[in-house]
Amino acid sequence: MSSIYTPPPNLSANPSAHIECRHIGREQQPVLVIDDFLNNPDWLVKRASEAPFKPDPGLFPGHRTPAPSVYTDALERALPPLLAKVFDTRPGDITRVESSYSLVTQTPASLKPLQRIPHFDSRHPRELASIYFLCNRLNEQYGGTAFYRHRSTGFESITEERFKRYMQALEADAQQVGLPAADYIYSDTKVFEKIAEIPARYNRLVLYPCTSLHSGVIRPGFDFSQEPTNARLSINSFLISR
């Protein structure tokens, strides 16, 4: 007999959460960090342990599966006042939210060139991304999220207006210094400078503009486990405006 689904007792924003807004780099992009974000985060970990993860068909270097809708509901209830204050969002800017459990499982040797450098999630200046860390409390050494500046252009974010120049600059970088080594980026390189790092912490939510150049901090010795309770478990969300 299959188990009967029971909703979480109270998957809601924690009124005692610690909220901090940081402004990073020369562009002073806002990054919102909320510690102890939700009540009952352990329920989300339990749900992840029962979920059918599959390899991501895109550039995310690992496995994903949809997050419970109650998590997205909690975001949509808790965030609007903060988003308006920190990111200057207006009614109608965010039209939908997509959330997925994520596990980094791809070994460095198998990474494609674009997976070895910082990425941006969208060129739309009003769209936002978030990562919600559910790493086991004993495994918070799993890397967090870092933000970067592209050295030759000085760009810390990629908009529609910057995209063509940025892509041309990446091609020039490849010709001058070669393709990046088959590894995750986690510190300064000849092409990128790290401007900020937010460590992973259980029940920590980090929000930032989708245009920001960023990457997960996956250092040597990382355990690429596919077991959610022992892995770098997170929920990644995109707050989309189209």
Q: What is the pLDDT of residue 13?
A: 92
Proportion of the chain above pLDDT 90, given as a percent = 82
Beta strands in 4-150 (DSSP E): 18-24, 29-35, 54-55, 62-66, 96-104, 128-133, 145-150
- Inform me whether the pLDDT recorded for 230 exceeds 90: no
Alpha-carbon distances, residue 179 vs 42, 115, 176 (angstroms): 41, 11, 9
* Architecture of the 18-240 domain: Sandwich (2.60)
Task: Read off the pTM.
Answer: 0.94
Q: What is the pLDDT of residue 201?
A: 94
The alpha-helical segments, DSSP class H, found in the chain are 41-49, 69-78, 80-87, 160-177
Beta bridge partners, 197, equal 146
Q: What digits encode the pLDDT tens for the residues 128-175?
A: 999 999 987 655 678 899 999 999 999 999 999 999 999 999 999 999
Instruction: Estimate to the nearest angstrom the gap between the alpha carbon of 95 and the chain centroid.
Output: 19
User: What is the Cα–Cα distance from 194 to 226, expressed in whole angstroms?
Assistant: 28
Tokens for 101?
């459990």
- Inform me whether the pLDDT recorded for 106 exceeds 90: yes
Proportion of the chain above pLDDT 70, given as a percent = 94
Contact at 8 Å (CB) between 104 and 216?
Answer: yes
User: What is the Cα–Cα distance from 129 to 114, expressed in whole angstroms?
Assistant: 19
Q: If residue 32 lies in a helix (H) or strand (E), which one and from where to where?
A: strand 29-35
- Inform me whether the pLDDT recorded for 29 exceeds 80: yes
Q: What digits encode the pLDDT tens for the residues 179-225?
A: 999 999 999 999 999 999 999 999 999 999 999 999 999 999 898 99
Alpha-carbon distances, residue 115 vs 49, 211, 239 (angstroms): 26, 16, 22
- Inform me whether the pLDDT recorded for 2 exceeds 80: no
User: What is the Cα–Cα distance from 100 to 53, expressed in whole angstroms?
Assistant: 10
Q: Which one, of 55, 172, 170, lies nearest residue 119 by Cα?
A: 170
- Inform me whether the pLDDT recorded for 9 exceeds 70: no
DSSP, collapsed to helix, strand or coil, labels residue 237 as strand
